[in-house]
Amino acid sequence: MNQNSKRYDGDTWSKLEEIREIVIHSIASNIDLYGVPHSIGRLYGTMYFHNEPMTLDEMRDALGMSKTSMSTGVRSLLDIKMVNKTYQKGVRKDLYRVEEDWYNSFFYLFSSKWGRAVRQNERQIRKAKEMLEELLEETSDPSLTEIIERDLGKMEHALEYYDWLKRLIKSFETEEIFRFIPKQSPKQPSGHSHASSQESEAN
Amino acid sequence: MNQNSKRYDGDTWSKLEEIREIVIHSIASNIDLYGVPHSIGRLYGTMYFHNEPMTLDEMRDALGMSKTSMSTGVRSLLDIKMVNKTYQKGVRKDLYRVEEDWYNSFFYLFSSKWGRAVRQNERQIRKAKEMLEELLEETSDPSLTEIIERDLGKMEHALEYYDWLKRLIKSFETEEIFRFIPKQSPKQPSGHSHASSQESEAN
DNA sequence: ATGTTTGTACAGTTTCTACTTTACAAACTT
DNA sequence: AAGTTTGTAAAGTAGAAACTGTACAAACAT
């Protein structure tokens, strides 16, 4: 079962590893979009092709890095739900496997990182808006009121944008986005192109 | 016109700056999502409230940083189109102002960073897929073919996901996303809630 | 209990990133 | 022409991030 423990035709096997390396490298060099360092991207890629759950020791051996790094690395992948902890009876060590559903990983990234940022900015801007309104009442100087009103306009505009972002993120969380961008691309059988409303199987 | 060169009621003015500082700080502490360092986030926030275009020297004075930092900082903001270069007759210095449309900034981030990543990963995975298919033909060992087929399945799955991401990004670029998530949130006057198809003014 | 395995906290090292200072080229002025 | 001004390249520095080795606590085995 475990393709790492058996010895197949060595030539084919090394070719396979070469191919996998291409993909792993590509993943690793783009994973910074998830705020994850390159080397941990390699870890992710390695786990992606390793079909069974992995232990920290296996990761260490596979990547030639320290076990501590594997521990912290897998933890950061766990935080953004790119890997999951699994359990297997009779196995003492912690086991991890990659989250197979990449849509989930993508959505979770937004829900967490972007969602957090949006909420914070929204809160601060709301606070600023209130303070500006208060300040506006206390001010008589017309050139100053003009500036305050301009700032207020910016705050309104910003709040509108953050509200939009929140709705976008929600459409990810609820997977309603699939109503608009379906998982399987439209095969254009005959009719119109966009905004088809076919159902998508959520998992 | 320029609120920095005149002297208004000092008390009100400092209160205003205090309020702005709240917003600037909040923006700066979340701008890492755009791959921009904190201090350059402050630069962005400062420019955001400074209603006229700014020169590098003004930035240096406003932030107390080196002119070189301002130069590289504003360049990185320029790269992701969060600021624009502007021209003003009779002015020798380069002038910059923030991109007012935050939707644009957000969309451009995806179009550039994510789009680039998607294209690269897609290309590499397509290459890997071809190589795997080739390898599959040369292989007789049944346990080995099983593994190759499993990898091939992963590649298919990945390509499907990247296709989806590409369509999502395209919906940003074309602003068709606004058909699904309109700029102004539905005021729920009476009817249904989501997927309204009202038009949005593109700018 | 004593001994072993497993994961992580902590301290130290290296490597990288965000700056600053200096120096200079290009564009403008006189 | 020589002298300014303006933006950036290059080199150096300080601090942060990524990684390693050691030490240890918790869980399990005997």
Q: Domain B12-100: which topology?
A: Arc Repressor Mutant, subunit A (1.10.10)
Q: What would the two tokens of residue B186 be?
A: 């539905």
State the pLDDT at residue A188.
Answer: 63
Nearest chain A Cα distance for residue B76, angstroms:
17
**Nearest-angstrom CA–CA distance, A123 and A131:** 13
> Looking at the predicted structure, is the pLDDT value of residue A196 above 60?
no
A102, B3: Cβ pair inside 8 Å?
no
**A191 pLDDT band (50/70/90 cuts)?**
very low
A195, B177: Cβ pair inside 8 Å?
no
How many other C-beta atoms can be found within 10 angstroms of the C-beta atom of residue B14? Answer: 10
The closest of B112, B171, B186 to A164, measured between CA atoms, is B186
Query: Best of B194, B200, B201 to disrupt the A interface by mutation (most A CBs within 10 Å)?
Result: B194
**Nearest-angstrom CA–CA distance, B184 and A120:** 21
Query: C12 C1' – A1 CA distance, angstroms?
Result: 42
State the pLDDT at residue A17.
Answer: 96
Cα Rg of chain B (Å, integer): 25
A29-85: per-residue pLDDT in tens? 999 999 999 999 999 999 999 999 999 999 999 999 999 999 999 999 999 999 999
B181, A171: Cβ pair inside 8 Å?
yes
Could you tell me which residues come within 8 angstroms of residue B194 by beta carbon, excluding any fewer than 6 positions away? A176, A179, B186
Beta bridge pairs of residue B84? B97
State the pLDDT at residue A9.
Answer: 66
pLDDT tens, per residue, chain B with 203 residues: 444 444 446 788 999 999 999 999 999 999 999 999 999 999 999 999 999 999 999 999 999 999 999 999 999 999 999 999 999 888 999 999 999 999 999 999 999 999 999 999 999 999 999 999 999 999 989 999 999 999 999 999 999 999 999 999 999 999 999 999 999 877 666 544 444 444 444 33
Quick check: A165 and A125 in contact, CB under 8 A?
Answer: no
**Nearest-angstrom CA–CA distance, A149 and A145:** 6
State the pLDDT at residue A115.
Answer: 97
Tell me which chain A residue has its CA closest to the CA of residue B144.
Answer: A8
Distances, alpha carbon B175 to alpha carbons B74, B115, B118, B170, B171, in Å:
27, 15, 19, 8, 6
Which of the nucleotides lies closest to B68 (Cα–C1')?
D8
CATH number for the region A11-100 comes to 1.10.10.10
State the pLDDT at residue A65.
Answer: 97
Quick check: B186 and B196 in contact, CB under 8 A?
Answer: yes
State the pLDDT at residue B126.
Answer: 98
Nearest chain A Cα distance for residue B117, angstroms:
6
Express the helix, strand and coil content of chain B in percent, nearest 5 each.
Answer: 65, 5, 30
State the pLDDT at residue B194.
Answer: 45
A143, B15: Cβ pair inside 8 Å?
no
A121: chain B residues, CB-CB within 8 Å: 26-27, 30
**Average pLDDT value for chain A:** 90
**Nearest-angstrom CA–CA distance, A101 and A114:** 20
State the DSSP string of B168-181.
Answer: HHHHHHT-THHHHS
Nearest chain B Cα distance for residue A56, angstroms:
23
A11-34: per-residue pLDDT in tens? 899 999 999 999 999 999 999 999
State the pLDDT at residue B198.
Answer: 41
Beta bridge pairs of residue B98? B83
